């Protein structure tokens, strides 16, 4: 089955700097890759997603890139703010609507 690896496990950045989180997946048939932000004790919130027919997607300060050949995708957050501090999870699915397999998560700390 699908295996998703996520790095780093923790990331500390200074406010205003950029943050990059990387994930690799094992199932070449996967074609949907969302990123979630989760605050302690809360439900995950979708922040951006990408499908396999697209290489990059951007939404204001957040962008996701996908390299299907290498089977990895990355989350880029620019101009980080203290409120960006949370746990971020990547996930992969064979099709949009199918079960999601999550990465281990990255604790992002933005220091002001």
Partner 1 sequence: GAVVSQHPSRVICKSGTSVKIECRSLDFQATTMFWYRQFPKKSLMLMATSNEGSKATYEQGVEKDKFLINHASLTLSTLTVTSAHPEDSSFYICSAPPGGDSSTGYTFGSGTRLTVV
* Binding flag, residue 96, partner 1 (CB under 8 A): yes
Strands 19-25 and 4-7: antiparallel
The answer to whether the bond into 27 is cis (omega within 30° of 0) is no
Say how far apart CA 93 and CA 98 lie, in whole Å. 6
Site string for partner 1, 39-68 (x = CB under 8 A): --xxxx-x--x-------------------
CB of 26 to partner 1, least distance (A): 15
- CA nearest to 102, candidates 20, 56, 46: 46
CB of 106 to partner 1, least distance (A): 10
Stretch that binds partner 1, among 55-63, 64-72, 75-83, 96-104 (CB under 8 A): 96-104
The contacts of residue 97 (CB under 8 Å, 6+ apart) are none
Say how far apart CA 36 and CA 53 lie, in whole Å. 20
Stretch that binds partner 1, among 16-24, 37-45, 54-62, 69-77 (CB under 8 A): 37-45
Binding site for partner 1 (CB under 8 A): 1, 34, 41-44, 46, 49, 89, 96-105, 107
């Amino acid at each position: 089955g699908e295996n998703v690896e996520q790095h780093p496990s923790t990331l500390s950045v200074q406010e205003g700097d950029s943050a990059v989180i990387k994930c690799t997946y094992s199932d070449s048939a996967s074609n949907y890759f969302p990123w979630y932000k989760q605050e302690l004790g809360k439900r995950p919130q979708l922040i951006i997603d990408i499908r396999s027919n697209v290489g990059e997607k951007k939404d204001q300060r957040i962008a996701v890139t996908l390299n299907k050949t290498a089977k990895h995708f990355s989350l880029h957050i620019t101009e980080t703010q203290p409120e960006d501090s949370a746990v971020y999870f990547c996930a992969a699915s064979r099709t949009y609507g199918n079960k999601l397999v999550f990465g281990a998560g990255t604790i992002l700390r933005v220091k002001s």
